[in-house]
Amino acid sequence: MWRRHWWRHLRRQIPEEVLFALNRLQEQGYEAYLVGGAPRDLLLSRSPEDWDLATDARPEEVKKIFANSLPLGEKFGTVRVLFDRLEVDITTYRQEGAYTDGRRPAWVSFTPSLQADLARRDFTINAIALDPLREKLVDPFGGVKALKQRLVKTVGDPEVRFGEDALRMLRFFRFQATLGFRGDRRTEKGIKPGNIVKISGERIGDELTKLLVSASPKTGLEGMARSGLLTALFPELSAVREEPALFRHTVETVQAIKPETELRWAAFLHDIGKPQTRVDKGNRLHFYGHEKVGTELAAAILERLRFSRKVADKILTLVRWHMFPADPWMTDAALRRLVVRVGKENIYALLELRRADLVGTPGVSYRAFAGLSHFAARLEALLAGETVLSLRDLAVNGHELMEFLGIPPGPRVGAVLQEIFHWVTDDPARNRKELILEYLEKRYK
């Protein structure tokens, strides 16, 4: 089945450092295989992100073979070998005890059996081992067949696998989203959503980010919703999930936006405040202030998932201002003030969120897209020559203002600077020190 030319082609896809590590272990009389995501990705003609090897060599033996190594967790048998361009993790074949806490095994023991090592893995597509040097493929659980079927299924009993590590429930949908696969029905039935509370916020956030920035987040989100995992993770989304049109719009917006972390998360959370602000007026629905309510709900979620302050602030800014007025006939002064309000660093991300919001809304006319395009063109032209977008850009500063008006430090200084700023943004040509002082002379002296 696996012809010689196929193996030659495969070896060309593997970095020299990885082949060197495999060869060194085998030269010393040990078995060594590529395991984890690398065999899966190579068989799918994808570029692996990580390179993991499994071997019957013990950690202390691996360290003797590779001087450029450091222990990652010798209890779990992993040693990291450092090369100039990449890192290779080498793990001793192991077996694991019961996962009594739903997160980690009660015990780990080393084993000489590759099959026993593969048997502890999560999904069949991740339980394949490749030896590209000796041209051997080990697939005891039908992972290659699952790849051909484009199917994600657990190794063995789904309830057992998910019970060992509840994060695997989320990974089940993440692999569907990243690979464009479908999920095995029996595997999905083994999901117990309530067990996800055993997992730390950081691990959930990392896994869900991978799902959101994938090629098909829609697949993953719909599966999570269908299984109950989505609302188990985010009770704040229960009301959104109960409104099919709103949930569908959210998913379509996520799918439509650029695959960047802050953008995808903002799209995922942008309408989370709508159910709480829903008002029926005749035949029309209104959601007054849903962006403010949504920002509060989103902040609680991002804090729970332990997002960094920088990333969280960006996401929350996009949620808070996603209803910004995109009127193509807005005056230049109003346009400048909008940029100042939301931040120049955020305005293009907000435009992208608005575009995706329109794509995700059924029945939107071409005029809405044309209007947004016109608005974006005006904004681009304005920013290309703009010089006054914050108080720091004014031709006078607070010290000069206090000296000229003879006032002490305090809130009044900030208020006067804001007044000057609005006066200047009406006509940026006014941003000259002599003109500003002349304005202050007339206003305050």
Strands (E), 238-384: 278-281, 284-287
Instruction: Provide, rounded to the nearest whole percent, the portion of the chain with pLDDT above 70.
Output: 96
Task: Share the mean pLDDT of the chain.
Answer: 91
Please give the average per-residue pLDDT across 158-186, as a whole number.
96
Q: What are phi and psi of 385, to 5 degrees?
A: -115, 5
Residues 6 or more apart in contact with residue 231 via CB below 8 angstroms = 193, 225, 237, 238, 241
What is the predicted pLDDT for the residue at 82? Answer: 93
Please give the average per-residue pLDDT across 362-382, as a whole number.
88
Q: Which residue has the higher pLDDT, 1 or 434?
A: 434
In angstroms, the CA 261 to CA 170 distance is 17
**310-361: per-residue pLDDT in tens?**
999 999 999 999 999 988 888 888 888 888 888 888 999 999 999 999 999 9
Q: What's the token pair of residue 166?
A: 């509840």
In angstroms, the CA 394 to CA 420 distance is 8
pLDDT band at 103 (very low <50, low <70, confident <90, very high): low
What is the predicted pLDDT for the residue at 337? Answer: 84
Q: Which residue has the higher pLDDT, 108 or 423?
A: 423
- Measured in whole angstroms, how far is the alpha carbon of residue 125 from the centre of its chain? 23
Q: What's the token pair of residue 414?
A: 């900030």
pLDDT above 60 (res 299): yes
Please give the average per-residue pLDDT across 296-323, as a whole number.
96
Nearest to 77 by CA among 50, 52, 59, 57: 59
pLDDT band at 98 (very low <50, low <70, confident <90, very high): low
CB 291 within 8 Å of CB 273: yes
Give a three-class secondary structure readout of 110-157.
ECCCHHHHHHCCCEHHHCCEEECCCCEEECCCCHHHHHHHCEECECCC
What is the predicted pLDDT for the residue at 100? Answer: 59
**115-128: per-residue pLDDT in tens?**
999 999 999 999 99
Could you give the domains of the chain? 1-149 (3.30.460.10), 156-233 (1.10.110.30), 259-381 (no CATH), 391-444 (1.10.246.80)
Q: Which residue has the higher pLDDT, 445 or 42?
A: 42
